[in-house]
Amino acid sequence: MTTIYVTKWALTEGIKEVRGCRTDVPTMTRVVSGKGACYDYHVHKPHWHVTYNEAVAQACKMQTKKIASLRKQLARLKTLTFEDSPDG
């Protein structure tokens, strides 16, 4: 088993450093234990990384994409108008 860095939940829980082992599928790893807790799940690429720097780069991409999405949502919300109901 090796240490890997999971970014699947980086925007809500941060980058997780866990022990994992690769499966026979090269783009997937099985995480079997973490710091202070035990896990048993599979993580697919691009949500796990061998180095912390790779994980940080992926988290930054995720952050940039989420900010763009929120800006787009905010722009849509600003264009909404609410009028009086047809009854009143």
Residue bearing tokens 């900010």: 67
pLDDT digits (tens, 9 = 90+) for 23-47: 666 666 666 545 555 556 678 888 8
Euclidean distance between CA atoms 22 and 65, whole angstroms:
28
Nearest-Å Rg of the Cα atoms of the chain is 20
**2-6 and 48-49 strand pairing:** antiparallel
**pTM score of the predicted model:** 0.75
Residue bearing tokens 């710091």: 35
Specify whether the backbone of 36 is left (phi greater than 0), alpha (psi in -120 to 50) or beta. left
pLDDT digits (tens, 9 = 90+) for 56-77: 999 999 999 999 999 999 999 9
